[in-house]
Amino acid sequence: MRYLYTLAMFLVTPLMVVRLLMRGARLRPPRGRWPERFGFFDAPGFTGSLWVHAVSVGEVNAAEPLIKALRRDYPNAPLVITTVTATGTARVHQLFGDSVFQVYLPYDLPFAVNGFLRRVRPRLALIVETEIWPNLYFACCRSGIPLMIVNARLSERSLRGYRPMRGVVRAALRCVRMIAAQSRIDVARYRLLGADPRHVVVTGNMKFDMPIPDGAVAAGAAMRERWGPGRPVWMAASTHEGEDMAVLQAHQQILRQLPEALLLLAPRHPERFRLVEHAVRSQGFGVATYSADTVPSPQHQVFVIDAMGQLMPFFAAADVAFVGGSLVPIGGHNVLEPAALSTPVLVGPHTFNFEEITRSLIQQGGAERVMSPEQLDRDVLQLLNDPGKRQQMGLAAQRLFERERGAVQRIMRMIDSLLQE
């Protein structure tokens, strides 16, 4: 099975390269760094590094408190952060600058993986959430590099996706020293996939430990003063293709009842920023953008947040936050960012990437589910017109956020134990 898997990886690699070239061509300036995908880059010249892999923006944000804890407790150990996406890479540089060594994770080809490990020479590998690459795991095992999956989650969809190659995945998971899972459901699914039950434990979700940026609340309050403290404001965050038009149609309906309403619209991917801005203008809204205007003014009806890593002050300023990737079957995004700021949360029906957190938030009264795009304007209007309910939901959301913190501390104890061995 492993040889068949490796053969399949060699066969699909040209398609992955073409996809990267096509996506890179849409970025300005175009981004290369293709040799890193095959394990070729200038060796940083250190040994005994601590390596954290976070595939994209969401995983980088989740790993932020853990990376900061590693820097605090192991100040002399070089830190290596790998990502897969350009947006994840940009977020690493935004958070940590040159204090870490950032490189793209190589394709799961034996020569690429071995070249990567030879250059960064880690003493510990930490994989964030759900990234099972058999050749990489086998190479760590052969090299004696302890491997942990932290903040581990496994959706029902991912479990089904791994089943055709269950044999090789099971063997790869046996190379993992510890799996620090988000919930009991994730523990059960990893065991079904073949992980050693003795090595899978619940530590909670690191996203509850994310830091709230200094000044986010004050910046949100300042924005509200600028556009009018009593103005009804809702936010649609991390939207995907297929959601933007539903959000804009909902806003048109909302404006009929609340003519002063403001929509803060934050597309998920940078390559869609310009397309979304054009779509908003084509609908006849008064539009401003973060890149051109920084904050909206009273005359604007829609404000497009065309920047990465800037959402927290806007969550603090919004009366209601709809979290995207959930009206379409993407699986949803992080609902804890608005929850941490006491902002009521709305989500669509597709939240399998954050099912445990979303379920808890809904059960505790901090979030509600929008079952269809046609229902979005009604649910937003209901909350915009009911400040008492908004306050109640916001307090429930923040209470859940505060209660569930502590996963990073538990994971750090496990890391300390592995490094002492």
Give the integer Cα–Cα distance in Å for 239 and 350.
Answer: 13
User: In this structure, which long-range contacts are made by residues 356-361, counting pairs with CB atoms below 8 Å and at least 24 apart in sequence?
Assistant: 356/153, 356/182, 356/183, 356/185, 356/186, 356/205, 357/205, 357/207, 358/332, 360/400, 360/404, 361/335, 361/397, 361/400
Give the CA distances from residue 263 to residues 186, 202, 296, in Å, rounded to whole numbers and listed in that order: 36, 38, 10
Burial zone of 7 (CB within 10 Å; 0-12 exposed, 13-18 middle, 19+ buried): exposed
Asked if 59 is an active-site residue, the reply is yes
Q: What are 34's two structure tokens?
A: 């293709």
CA nearest 356: which of 237, 240, 208? 208
- The active-site residue out of 59, 129, 337, 355 is 59
- Give the number of other Cβ atoms within 10 Å of residue 137's Cβ: 26
Q: What angle do CA 357, 364, 128 make, to 5 degrees?
A: 15
Which residues, other chains included, contact 202 with Cβ-Cβ below 8 Å and sequence gap of 6+?
Answer: 181, 182, 183, 184, 186, 187
Distance of CA 83 to the CA centre of its chain: 12
Which residues, other chains included, contact 351 with Cβ-Cβ below 8 Å and sequence gap of 6+?
Answer: 326, 331, 332, 335, 358, 369
Annotated catalytic residues are 59
